[in-house]
Structure 1
Amino acid sequence: MAHGPDAEAPLLAKPDAAATPPPPAKRNKYPFFCAALASMTSVLMGYNVGVLSGAQIFMAEDLGVSDAQIEVLSGIINIYSLVGALLGGWTSDRLGRRLTIVVANAFFLVGPLAMAVAGGYALLMVGRFVAGVGVGYALVVAPVYAAEIAPPSSRGLLTSLPEIFINCGVMLGYVSNLAFSGLPAHLSWRLMIGVGAVPTVFLAAGVLTMPESPRWLAMKGRVADAKAVLDRTSDTPAEARQRLLEIEDVVGSTSGGGGCGGTWKEVATKAGVRRVLAVVLTLQFFQQASGIDSVVLYGPRILAMAGVTSNTLLLSLNVLFGVAKAGSILVAMALTDRVGRRPLLLVSTGGMTLALLVLGSIFVAFAGAEDDAAVAAAVSFAAIVAFVVTFSVGFGPLAWVYSSEVLPLRLRAPGAGLGTAMNRIMSGVVTMTFLSLYQAITMAGVFYLYAAIAAASFVFIYACLPETRGRSLEDMEELFHTK
């Protein structure tokens, strides 16, 4: 494909050995602003997931909702999110990444408001469905936009932002629970849920001020607009020009693909495309199947069975889990562009396996030992924190980072939708079966099962995932042979 005179520009020439090497490029902060604003939608997602943990207490008192209905209401949002996840790829390609984020905000506006005014279980489920669709959209579009707007030097950091913001949203849900807990029951849970709708209008307005993804613009033939965005989001003018050449090359090589039908035809006919899609789906499967949401959602119950008897202490320790989880993701954000994705993923899954083995062994070693209840509780708490921390320094954020990086441009949005659907299915399965599973095979058996899955994910990462740090998104086409 001809790229014009720029294809032979001096920036691609070999530098003169005698010349003074240029100083290292200063990182551009503008893409961080764009990715952070886009990822703010993930705060709303986390809030809608986390706030129900406390709101359900007052909801049951006010509306007489049963424990079984609460369990379904809590976990069903993961299943509902499949609608948004599967539509998110199509919407991202049709409307653009930016407008899809606005659509997600609209769902986060309507869903919580419907729940806040609900007078019965039916409308609660309707509101939860609408919010769930928003969750699916947010999980698809935020990492895709961050990956496509970021220069290679900071792509790992920026693509990790949605994960840290999800956890910030969960923590804000806990804070809202505490802030409104002193009000009468018929007001407290409605305010807890309803205040989550307030930021959506401001976020949607803010998103419209940021640029569209340059790769989406190039796919739509708006090369001049894509160039303008790359000039603003690259570390150097030379890098902007190189990124544009690479994007044009990929878009040009797939311009006859025939839209969505052509894209999925490639999945059927190209082994490289099938392989990269299988990598994304398997990575998302393992991320949730290893049990993180069971530990996060049922942490108080696990600690109660390990010997903690005070409800106040249980809830306080639950907040500490959230703090440890969110704080650990900051470590991943700081290291992913320095040490790489693969080392962090291996350390993470290895640490998760060990922590889960310890946690399972505690329930074997201290079963029925009431005199050692304090020791069992302390070790259980330490093991849960270790599991949450090791998950968050690697597997938590980097499953999304890696998935958004390795998918080829023409498959990135729909492929991210499928990966998100896999993630949400497994999250729903894990959270809605935990109670019956531990009753069937004991608490120790559950954690040994999760440990085996975490160990399998370590083997998968070691055998199948090459390093992507420092590569452009277009380089992934060569790495995975998807051209």
Structure 2
Amino acid sequence: MNVMAKAEKKISSAFIYFFGSFGGILFGYDIGVMTGALPFLQADWHLENAASLVGWITSAVMFGAIFGGALAGQLSDKFGRRKMILMSAIVFMVFSVLSGVSPDMGEASAYYLIIVRMLLGLAVGAASALVPAYMSEMAPAKARGRLSGLNQTMIVSGMLLSYVVDFLLKDLPGEWAWRLMLGLAAVPALILFLGVLRLPESPRFLLRKGDEAQARKVLSYIRKNPADIDQELASIKETAKEERQANQKTSWSTLFSGKYRYLVIAGVGVAAFQQFQGANAIFYYIPLIVQKATGQAASSNLMWPIVQGIILVIGSLVYMWIADKFNRRTLLMVGGAVMGLSFILPAVINWMMPNMNPMTIVVFLCIYVAFYSFTWAPLTWVLVGEIFPLAIRGRASGLASSFNWIGSWLVGLIFPIMTASMPQEAVFAIFGIICILGVIFVKTCVPETRGHTLEEIEEQGTNRGRVKASNPEN
């Protein structure tokens, strides 16, 4: 026991933050890796004209993630954050390797890979939910506000890493290229597993299990002032008590009662719009988009994902710089407007000038990614974290996350089907209209949360509920 305590005391907060952030890199790597693998996989398995299968192979991870996040949240309350992160890393490693060694059995191979990637998605969804939660519970209160921006930076860094790996492996024989791209996802999962092995359990979970002595011990490793430890323990106890009382008084129907309906619609709506605006169509299919625009082979266009990845990383850093300088609504509306125009203008230009340079659409996609990276990408989760009152926070946050994953899955699934049946410019114009609808939604349905306490935000929902009750025809 003394040896274990001695080992845990050597753990620094920097080590905890690194491996908390590394979970974001793991998540981002898997989002991006199929971008480079898909052109080689299509050629190897002759799927060039199988749009629905391509969509399912690409989106299967997001489909699994819909269930992975919800399942991990419930299991982590029973077994602990740390154990579930370790389990997620193991699942991630196993199914990454199984993806890379997919048997070549004709069309049956595609169904095998779809199932394996669905199971891999359970780990992706779990990691995306568990790692930020663990980090926020370990971090001091003054650092929590920056974690959402830091987590976003790590996710897009993981995407950029996968794009670079794809580019470096592109000259291998086709079958080896895509298999290594998918299989190497096991490496960051192994690093995460080995790192988390050294981490202690969350103090919040320990207190919920009644182990105050161990919770105090863990806090002593990462807090310097004993008075801060006492204050934080008392705060965790009080919050846990309030959450238990809230859970006893609320149900799923409570989310849509007059008092909370406005805030639930706002938070869940923003989470859904973030995905239905079409960002993942770019992240998953940019080589195929360039191929369709220029006629060049997708496998020779793997520099474009790296360009997108660099833009995403720079944008996430820009967000961390401007996050507290502008209102949330302002950034979302400006970002959404530019994103919408970036999708709509290529269709308009192509209609007016049918002989336009085919790379024009790619330039506009880069503009879209730039504005998405410092507005809707990080702000969605900042707003979701701020907008839900304590009484409904657990259920409402889970609902928002589910709608976000559903949107991600559907976009990944239907984009190749849409582009197989209509011009690319028309497909992106549809996403552009959704972006504009997102701006209108933010303008009319989303309250400003920057600089407001949770109580003030909840009061906005209460007041809106009273107005609706007194004017039911509105």
* TM-score after normalising by structure 2: 0.80
Tell me the amino acid that sits aligned with residue 172 of structure 1. L
Contact 1:250 1:409 in 2 (8 A): no
In structure 1, what is the equivalent of residue 116 of structure 2?
127
What is the one-letter code of the residue matched to 2:251?
W
Question: Is 1:155 matched with 2:136?
Answer: no
Paired position in structure 1 for 2:32: 50
The reply on whether 1:189 has 2:167 as its aligned counterpart is no
Equivalence for 1:115: 99
Indicate the larger mover: 179-188 or 450-459.
179-188
Distance 1:86 1:347 in 2: 32
Return closer, same or farther for 1:143/1:468 CA change in 2, 3 Å cut-off.
Answer: farther
1:186 deviates by 4.3
Q: Does 1:71 align with 2:58?
A: no
Pairs within 5 Å for 1:421-440: 421-438=402-419
Aligned residues: 444
Counterpart contact for 1:35–1:161, Cα < 8 Å: no
Shift, 1:392, TM fit: 0.6
- The answer for the alignment partner of 1:393 in structure 2 is 374
Q: Which residue does 1:19 correspond to in 2?
A: none
Match in the other structure for 1:362: 349
323-332 vs 355-364, which deviates more? 355-364
Q: Which runs of 5+ in 1 are unaligned?
A: 1-28
Change (3 A) 1:297 1:116: closer
Correspondence for 1:250: 239
Aligned partners of 1:462, 1:234: CA distance in 2, in Å? 42
Q: Pick the aligned partner of 2:19 from 27, 31, 37.
A: 37
Query: Measured at CA, do residues 207 and 191 of structure 1 come closer, stay the same or move farther in structure 2, by a change above 3 Å?
Result: same
User: In structure 2, which of residues 74, 78, 92 is the aligned counterpart of residue 90 of structure 1?
Assistant: 74
Whole-angstrom CA distance in 2 between matches of 1:480 and 1:392 = 28
Higher deviation after alignment, 247-256 or 136-145: 247-256
| Contact in 1 for aligned 2:216/2:233 (Cα 8 Å) | yes
Secondary structure of the residue aligned to 2:301 is helix
Letter in 2 for 1:107: V
Correspondence for 1:404: 385
CA contact (8 A) 2:148 2:381 kept: yes
What is residue 283 of structure 2 aligned with on the other side?
296
Give the counterpart letter for 1:51 in structure 2: V
Amino acid at match of 1:45: F
Residue 476 in 1 paired to residue 454 in 2?
yes
Aligned partners of 1:101 and 1:138 also within 8 Å = yes
Task: Give the Cα–Cα distance (whole angstroms) in 1 for the partners of residues 344 and 224 of structure 2.
Answer: 45
Q: Are residues 1:447 and 2:455 paired? A: no
- Give the Cα–Cα distance (whole angstroms) in 1 for the partners of residues 329 and 219 of structure 2: 28
For residues 239 and 465 of structure 1, the distance between their equivalents in structure 2, rounded to whole angstroms, comes to 36
3-state DSSP of counterpart to 1:323: helix
**CA pair 382-55 structure 1, distance change in 2 beyond 3 A:** closer
Distance 1:98 1:480, change over 3 A: farther
Corresponding position of 1:419: 400
- State the one-letter code of the partner of 2:56: V
Q: Distance in 1 between matches of 2:258 and 2:225?
A: 36
Cα-to-partner distance string for 1:436-481 (whole Å, 9 max, x where unaligned): 435656434333322222222223334444444567xxx5255325
Residues 299-319 of structure 1, C-alpha deviations (whole Å, 9 max, x = no match): 344444545747577332332
Amino acid at match of 2:196: V
Mean alpha-carbon deviation: is it higher for 358-367 or for 235-244? 235-244
Unaligned runs of 5+ in 2: 1-10, 463-474
**CA 1:232–1:358: 2 relative to 1, 3 Å:** farther
Residues 138, 445 of structure 1: CA spacing in aligned structure 2 closer, same or farther, 3 A cutoff? same
Deviation at 1:290, TM superposition (A): 0.8
Shift of 1:157: 2.3
The structure-2 alpha-carbon separation of the partners of 1:222 and 1:214, relative to structure 1 and needing over 3 Å to count, comes to same
3-state SS of 2:185 partner: helix
Letter in 2 for 1:457: G
1:118–1:50: structure 2 CA closer, same or farther, 3 Å change rule?
same
Counterparts in 2 of 1:438 and 1:192: CA distance versus 1, 3 Å: closer
User: Where does 1:249-398 land on structure 2 (aligned, <5 Å)?
Assistant: 249-256=238-245, 263-264=250-251, 267=254, 271-307=258-294, 309=296, 314-339=301-326, 341-367=328-354, 369=355, 372-373=356-357, 376-377=358-359, 379-398=360-379
What is the DSSP-based 3-state SS (H/G/I as helix, E as strand, rest coil) of the residue aligned with 1:157? helix
- 1:43-75 CA-partner distances (Å, limit 9, x unpaired): 223222322233334445555566523332112
**1:479 maps to amino acid:** I
Distance 1:177 1:183 in 2: 10
Cα distance, 1:426 vs. partner? 1.0
> What is the CA distance between 1:393 and its match in structure 2?
0.4
Residue number in structure 1 paired with 2:90: 106
1: CA distance, partners of 2:167 / 2:148: 31
The 1-side partners of 2:201 and 2:313 are apart by 28
Assess, with a 3 A threshold, how the Cα gap between structure 1 residues 465 and 273 changes in structure 2: closer, same or farther. Answer: same
- Structure 2 counterpart of 1:177, one-letter code: D
Kindly indicate whether the alpha-carbon contact (under 8 Å) linking 2:39 and 2:288 is maintained by their aligned counterparts in 1.
Answer: no
| Secondary structure class of the residue paired with 1:40 | helix
What residue is the counterpart of 1:3 in the other structure?
Answer: none
**Structure 1 residue 81: deviation in Å?**
1.6
Q: The residue matched to 2:323 in structure 1 has which SS?
A: helix
Aligned-residue identity in percent: 29
What TM-score results when the alignment is normalised by the length of structure 1?
A: 0.78
**Partner Cα separation in structure 2 for residue 385 and residue 198 of structure 1:** 30
State the one-letter code of the partner of 2:376: F
**CA 239–141 in structure 1, closer or farther in 2 if over 3 Å, else same:** same
Distance 1:33 1:410 in 2: 33
Distance 1:97 1:457, change over 3 A: farther
Deviation at 1:346, TM superposition (A): 3.3
Q: Does 1:174 align with 2:163?
A: yes
CA contact (8 A) 1:143 1:400 kept: no
2-structure distance, mates of 1:312, 1:186: 12
Counterpart-to-counterpart distance in 1, 2:42 and 2:246: 53
Cα separation, 1, equivalents of 2:382 and 2:200: 21
CA distance in 1, matches of 2:176, 2:379: 39
What amino acid is the match of 2:407? M
Cα separation, 1, equivalents of 2:220 and 2:352: 61
Q: CA RMSD in A?
A: 3.5
Give the Cα–Cα distance (whole angstroms) in 2 for the partners of residues 196 and 335 of structure 1: 33
Task: Describe the shift of the 1:440–1:197 C-alpha distance in structure 2 as closer, same or farther (beyond 3 A).
Answer: closer
